[in-house]
Amino acid sequence: MNRVLEAVGRHGRDRRRLLSILHEVQAGHPGNYLCPEDLAAAASALGMAVSEIRSIASFYTMFSFRPRGRHLVRVCESPPCHVMGATGVLEELRRVLGVREGETTADGMFTLEASSCLGLCGVAPAMMIDGESFGNLTPEGIRSVIDRFRARAEKERGAR
Amino acid sequence: MKRKVMAQVLVGIDADSVLAGARRFKTVLVGELARRSLAGAVEVSETGPVGPVGPGVSLVVYPRGEVYAGLEEPEIPLFVEEVLVKGRSWDRKLVPAGKAGRGPAPAPADSRRRQHYGRIVLENCGLIDPGDIHEYIGRDGYRALGEALSGSTPGGVIEKIEKAGLRGRGGAGFPTALKWRYTAAGQGEKVLICNADEGEPGTFKDRLIMEGDPHRVVEGMALAAFAIGARTGYIYIRGEYGLSLERLGKAVSDARSAGLLGRDIFGSGFDLDIELRLGAGSYVCGEETALINSMEGCRGEPRLKPPFPAESGFLGRPTCVNNVETLANVPPIVLRGPEWFRAFGTPGTPGTKVYTILGHVRRPGLVEVPMGTSLREIIFDYGGGVFPGDFKMAHLGGTAGDIMSREALDLPLAFETLQEAGHNLGSGAVLVMNESVGLPDFLACCLRFFRHESCGHCTPCRIGCRRLHESFVRLARGRGYEDELATIAGLAAGLKETAFCPMGQSVAAPIESALRYFRPELEAGVEPGRKRPRRRERGFRPAGMPGAGRT
């Protein structure tokens, strides 16, 4: 609730700033998604209907209405990555994480998403975990990328 | 006493090299130099992308201007020893001159239209530290703006761009000066928008321009805003471009502190401020009216034209939307004049084009070449040739572009020459494919993209992309219906004729070019004698209702 008021405070009660506000609200939610309470709070703060906000947010792939893991794994499945072997990479990710696209691992660590072009085609096939890019992926290398990321993320969590 | 700087090392920093460990590489390099007491003698700084030199960490070493690529951390002591201490060229990782797209390229066989080499848009990329406004200013940065504001008029700037013949680099090739004139003639407060929502798969030229030379974009925007009479500029940047956002944000705030943005710039009475807006993941928002809707906080669906944005755009104001690469061309044209610009490229499309070379090539990456350069030169001279295997096809201009066969390799790439040949230049992506790629499977992937990104506003695109995707999936499995190709051609033509926005219309491009060049391969996906099931009136009678399931 507070994160909605903070974001609205930063951007103003201006419905044109809705996307920026939603970006911040979503990033501030521990579940990395737009929860119904936040949507309702944003609606009342901006003088909009909840349905209107849902209609707008659902248009954009970066917003989610379902809780997601702490880290978002986005695999590019656009043509340039496809011809360089993205299908095998995605299959291996499903196997290593034990989830399908749109699902979250049981420990709440990762959500797997298939994505349109990430602009990393020079190092195709590519993926992003949160804001970090990974390229020249091979199915064989996926497990070590995920393991290293998991180890680092757990260390950082421990440090906090 | 400060020691004289003997050498300068520029580490190429972009999203690709960062993931190869460029930032850590720089830290270790600085450490190694300090260990050898060379810290004062060798200056290490960051720059943007170095050029199409292959994967890994790349460096430029001055004063000799040598480019090194594919460096790894354990090699640092040896590199320092050879190159910086002994002053030798280190052949093992040295990129041959000309290959990095800088300096004179090897003389081509056909020099008729290619007397001029060198770069326009990327002239500073890989040479300057994008985070330092002084380095941009040191290379004539903001001089064009200063001269225009003190000695020229908005009309004068538009005239220069018109004489230079600059055409929009976003894909459509619309004359930039004409767009500016229309906007300038509109009623009320004008708005300038820089379209940095680069979503066309295979295209990342704008990202590299923004990462490598952000002030050039800011200066280009300032000149455009002056020309059309706008006091507010926006950069609409896609949500995935973290480093671009960071660098542009810094460039805008540094320009503001230096008095190059804000009130009364250069004492001319011209005011301009630039704001950044973040996209949220939508391909169709690259279309200008959809982008404007998104900036107003709405669903990013396209608007009906007319009225064109030049008349009524953002908040109903006259609005000009220009692509990043287009704006990056503006400062050098204003500074050096239209004649200089016209020396590059073809008469119909002067200037250069930035291409991203990817797929099955030896050296994927970014290259800037004069308009009129052929696919063959781009793939074989700059991209280092097809690897692995042999050339089968190239997808030109992104997913919404044309699929080119071997016979199209020698076409000069410029807006007018391609139009004559029934093709489009598109966004600058060159996706090279070898024989391992099956065309039906590739098109199924393209259509999956369109099906996902179709905004749903109009029926031809919403339903058409879905049906086309299903068709190509069937063909890829060798299970196509016997009328599959006719259906595909009909749907593609229907999209081209009736889709609401240019994005939907362009879905036909890869399909029609594939039918033109590779029809037999598509036909091979048809299962002989397989009939399309007769249409059932599904959807009208829910299961359990009388008549459900009957034809």
From chain B, pick out residues whose CB is under 8 angstroms from the CB of A128.
Answer: 240
From chain A, pick out residues whose CB is under 8 angstroms from the CB of B452.
Answer: 116
pLDDT given for residue B546 in this prediction? 52
CB contact under 8 A, B296 and A16: yes
CB contact under 8 A, A17 and B455: no
- Across chain B, mean pLDDT equals 89
Q: Is the dihedral of CA A46, A51, A54, A58 positive or negative?
A: negative
Confidence of residue B101 (pLDDT cuts 50, 70, 90): very low
In whole angstroms, give the CA distance from residue A82 to residue B365.
Answer: 17
Q: Please indicate if any CB of chain B lies within 8 Å of the CB of A123.
A: yes
Choose among B265, B263, B203: nearest CA to B238. Answer: B203
Q: Which residues have a Cβ under 8 Å from the Cβ of A10 and sit 6 or more positions away?
A: A24
pLDDT, tens only, B402-425: 999 999 999 999 999 999 999 999
Q: How far is CA B5 from CA A160, B8, B135, B434, in A?
A: 42, 7, 17, 48
CB contact under 8 A, A119 and B240: yes
Question: Strands B262-265 and B270-278: what pairing?
Answer: antiparallel
- Top mean pLDDT of B73-87, B380-394, B534-548 is at B380-394
In whole angstroms, give the CA distance from residue B189 to residue B210.
Answer: 27
Residue B462 is encoded by which pair of tokens? Answer: 């919403």
Residue A118 is encoded by which pair of tokens? Answer: 């990430």
CB contact under 8 A, A122 and B449: no
Question: Strands A127-129 and A132-134: what pairing?
Answer: antiparallel
CB contact under 8 A, B198 and A119: yes
From chain A, pick out residues whose CB is under 8 angstroms from the CB of B204.
Answer: 119-122
In whole angstroms, give the CA distance from residue B527 to residue A79.
Answer: 25
CB contact under 8 A, B239 and A119: no
Per the CB < 8 A criterion, the answer to whether A120 and B15 are in contact is: yes
Choose among B477, B14, B268, B375: nearest CA to A123. Answer: B14
The minimum CA-CA distance between A105 and chain B, rounded to whole Å, is: 23
pLDDT given for residue B226 in this prediction? 98
Q: Please indicate if any CB of chain B lies within 8 Å of the CB of A59.
A: yes
CB contact under 8 A, A133 and B15: yes
Of residues B201, B300, B437, nearest to A78 (C-beta): B201
Backbone angles phi, psi at B265, to 5 degrees: -65, 130
Kindly report which listed range (B98-107, B214-223, B225-234, B278-287) carries the lowest average pLDDT score.
Answer: B98-107
CB contact under 8 A, B297 and A15: yes
Can you spell out the DSSP letters for B530-542?
PPPPPP--TTTS-
From chain B, pick out residues whose CB is under 8 angstroms from the CB of A123.
Answer: 16, 19, 55, 364
Task: Determine the residue of chain A that is closest to B356 in CA distance.
Answer: A122
Choose among A155, A52, A11, A74: nearest CA to B278. Answer: A11
The minimum CA-CA distance between B177 and chain A, rounded to whole Å, is: 29
pLDDT, tens only, B123-179: 998 889 999 999 999 999 999 999 999 999 999 999 999 999 999 999 889 999 999
In whole angstroms, give the CA distance from residue B346 to residue B464.
Answer: 37
The residues pairing with B235 across neighbouring beta strands, listed in sequence order, are B194, B276
pLDDT given for residue B154 in this prediction? 97
pLDDT, tens only, B365-386: 889 999 999 999 999 998 999 9
Task: Determine the residue of chain A that is closest to B237 in CA distance.
Answer: A20
Confidence of residue B109 (pLDDT cuts 50, 70, 90): very low
In whole angstroms, give the CA distance from residue B20 to residue B73.
Answer: 10
Interface test with A, best of B16, B58, B238 (most A CBs within 10 A): B16
Per the CB < 8 A criterion, the answer to whether B7 and B43 are in contact is: yes
Task: Determine the residue of chain B that is closest to A21 in CA distance.
Answer: B297
Can you spell out the DSSP letters for B77-131?
HHHIIIIIIS----GGGEEPTTTTS-SPPPPPS--SS----S-STTTTTTTS-TT
pLDDT given for residue B545 in this prediction? 52
Task: Determine the residue of chain A that is closest to B394 in CA distance.
Answer: A80
Q: Please indicate if any CB of chain B lies within 8 Å of the CB of A113.
A: no
pLDDT, tens only, B439-454: 999 999 999 999 999 9
Of residues A60, A83, A128, nearest to B437 (C-beta): A83
pLDDT given for residue B102 in this prediction? 38
CA B34 to chain centre: 39
Per the CB < 8 A criterion, the answer to whether A82 and A120 are in contact is: no
Backbone angles phi, psi at B85, to 5 degrees: -90, -50
Kindly report which listed range (A7-11, A143-147, B51-55, B224-228) carries the lowest average pLDDT score.
Answer: B51-55
pLDDT, tens only, A101-130: 999 999 999 999 999 999 899 889 999 999
pLDDT, tens only, B298-308: 999 999 999 99
Q: Which residues have a Cβ under 8 Å from the Cβ of B87 and sit 6 or more positions away?
A: none
**Order of strands, sheet of A71-76, starting from the edge strand that comes earlier in the sequence:** A110-115, A71-76, A127-129, A132-134
Residue B310 is encoded by which pair of tokens? Answer: 């030049």
How many Cβ pairs closer than 8 A exist between chain A and B? 134
CB contact under 8 A, A116 and B277: no
CB contact under 8 A, A80 and B298: no
pLDDT given for residue B540 in this prediction? 54
- B-facing residues of A in 71-90 (CB < 8 A) are 77-80, 82-84
Q: What is the DSSP letter of B283?
A: G
In whole angstroms, give the CA distance from residue A29 to residue A35.
Answer: 8
Environment class of B409 (CB within 10 Å of its CB; exposed 0-12, middle 13-18, buried 19+): middle
CA-derived radius of gyration, chain B: 25
DSSP count for chain B of H helices, then E strands: 20, 15
One-letter identity of residue B231:
R
Q: Is the dihedral of CA B156, B162, B166, B169 positive or negative?
A: positive
Residue B356 is encoded by which pair of tokens? Answer: 């991203």
In whole angstroms, give the CA distance from residue B184 to residue B198.
Answer: 26
Interface test with A, best of B13, B14, B19 (most A CBs within 10 A): B19
